[in-house]
């Protein structure tokens, strides 16, 4: 499937899901305009400041996971991370995730293996922290204790994968040996690439870098949930939202947006997660949809602005060599 067809399919999914949500939720474009018009400027600036802090923490985590011999300065990683987040957010089927590897290699000469390992380990940390945060929120609300226990178990599983990320690349090696292809040229090539990837993944979490990255993940995801909580309150959910409830409602929206098949820029899937999450907390479908779409538009505006600044920073960085720092 070529890029243009993927883009059209992603756009079609977004339009279809949003149309279904508007029909089911009983909201209208006028409701959305009214919700956004009521968003106080102070709330938007607070959310913007939190969002900027999230970007700084994400860049710091990427940098920590890069081996010292290839590690660029934080300012350069910040620009790359912002540009990558825009690509990951906008391009269909999460194809933009691979942009981090290309940007790190093109702007800072970080080898592709190290860049990919950094991305994989950081995403495993995201999954572990997201599942853990949702699990704690469920336990705090008491009536979702079984779901909270399940989510904490998933967080533990992702945590174990963070400790042993090389296990992710053992599958092709096992399949090659089961098929008795290890002595063929193709089989040897698969095993060699798997060994290189395993070494890169182990290096990304080695030498104390994984604990440091995990510590950065905690305030990073606290910032994510706080960002959504601030927007949810400003967009009309003030009577029903505290941090635990905002974590649950927005956490489902984030989880839905992680699906590999979603609408353009996450439209439709993110709103569906938001409506289901906050709807389970007693928020009306109309209010949940208008506030979820409003939060998404604010988020997208921030992502676009930060991403454009990141691309500008990368362009300037390519004009001069990057000093290596430890």
Q: What is the pLDDT along the chain (326 residues), one digit of tens a residue?
A: 555 565 565 666 666 666 766 666 566 676 667 777 788 999 999 999 999 999 999 999 999 999 888 999 999 999 999 999 998 888 766 778 889 999 999 989 999 888 988 998 999 999 999 999 999 999 988 888 999 999 999 999 999 888 887 666 665 665 566 555 556 665 556 555 656 566 666 666 666 788 999 999 999 999 999 999 999 989 988 766 788 888 999 999 999 888 766 666 677 888 889 999 998 888 888 888 888 989 999 999 999 999 999 999 988 876 665 555 55
Q: Are 205 and 163 in contact (CB under 8 A)?
A: yes
Tokens coding 194: 């798997």
Q: Encode 270-301: b = buried (16+ Cβ within 10 Å), e = exposed.
A: bbbbbbbbbbbbebebebbbbbbbbbbbbbbe
Distance from C-alpha of 66 to C-alpha of 105, rounded to nearest angstrom: 12
Q: How many CB atoms lie within 10 A of CB 316?
A: 12
100 close to 318: Cβ distance less than 8 angstroms: no
Contacts of 228 (CB under 8 A, 6+ apart): 246, 249, 250, 253, 295
Tokens 């779409």 correspond to 293
The pLDDT value recorded for residue 207 is 62
Looking at residue 223, its pLDDT comes to 96
- What is the Cα–Cα distance from 204 to 202, expressed in whole angstroms? 5
**Residue 65: other Cβ atoms inside 10 A:** 26
Report d(CA 273, CA 263) in Å as an integer: 13
Q: Is 84 helix (H, G, I), strand (E, B) or coil?
A: helix
d(CA 70, CA 63): 10
35 contact partners, CB below 8 Å, separation of at least 6: 235, 236, 290, 291, 294
Residue 211 and residue 234: Cα distance in Å, rounded? 35
Q: Are 220 and 57 in contact (CB under 8 A)?
A: yes
The rounded distance, in Å, linking the Cα atoms of 304 and 310 is 10
pLDDT at res. 319: 62
Please report the pLDDT score of residue 188 as a whole number. 59
Enter the tokens of residue 1.
């499937």
Q: Which residue has the tokens 């600044």?
A: 309
Query: Which position has the token pair 């092709």?
Result: 172
DSSP three-state, residue 242: coil
Angle subtended by helix axes 29-37 and 285-317, to nearest 10 = 70
Q: Name the residue with tokens 């030498």.
A: 207
């Amino acid at each position: 499937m070529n890029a243009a067809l993927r883009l059209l399919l992603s756009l079609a999914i977004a339009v279809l899901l949003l149309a279904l949500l508007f029909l089911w939720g009983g909201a209208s474009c006028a409701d959305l305009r009214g919700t956004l018009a009521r968003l106080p400027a102070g709330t938007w600036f607070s959310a913007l400041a939190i969002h900027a802090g999230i970007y700084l923490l994400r860049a710091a985590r990427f940098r920590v996971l890069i081996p010292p011999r290839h590690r660029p300065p934080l300012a350069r990683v910040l620009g790359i991370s912002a540009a990558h987040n825009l690509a990951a957010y906008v391009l269909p089927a999460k194809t933009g995730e691979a942009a981090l590897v290309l940007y790190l290699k093109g702007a800072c000469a970080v080898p592709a293996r190290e860049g990919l390992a950094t991305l994989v380990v950081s995403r495993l940390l995201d999954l572990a922290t997201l599942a853990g945060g949702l699990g704690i929120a469920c336990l705090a609300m008491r009536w979702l204790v079984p779901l909270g226990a399940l989510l904490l178990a998933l967080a533990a599983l992702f945590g174990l994968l963070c400790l042993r990320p090389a296990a992710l690349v053992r599958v092709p090696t096992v399949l090659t040996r089961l098929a008795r292809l290890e002595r063929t040229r193709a089989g040897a090539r698969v095993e060699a690439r798997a060994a290189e990837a395993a070494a890169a993944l182990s290096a990304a979490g080695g030498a104390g870098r994984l604990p440091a990255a995990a510590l950065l993940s905690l305030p990073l995801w606290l910032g994510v949930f706080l960002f959504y909580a601030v927007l949810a309150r400003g967009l009309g959910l003030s009577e029903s939202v505290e941090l635990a409830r905002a974590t649950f409602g927005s956490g489902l929206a984030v989880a839905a947006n992680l699906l590999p098949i979603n609408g353009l820029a996450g439209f439709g899937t993110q709103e569906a997660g938001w409506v289901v999450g906050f709807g389970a907390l007693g928020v009306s479908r109309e209010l949940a949809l208008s506030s979820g779409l409003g939060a998404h538009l604010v988020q997208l505006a921030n992502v676009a602005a930060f991403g454009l600044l990141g691309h500008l920073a990368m362009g300037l960085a390519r004009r001069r060599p990057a000093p290596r720092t430890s």
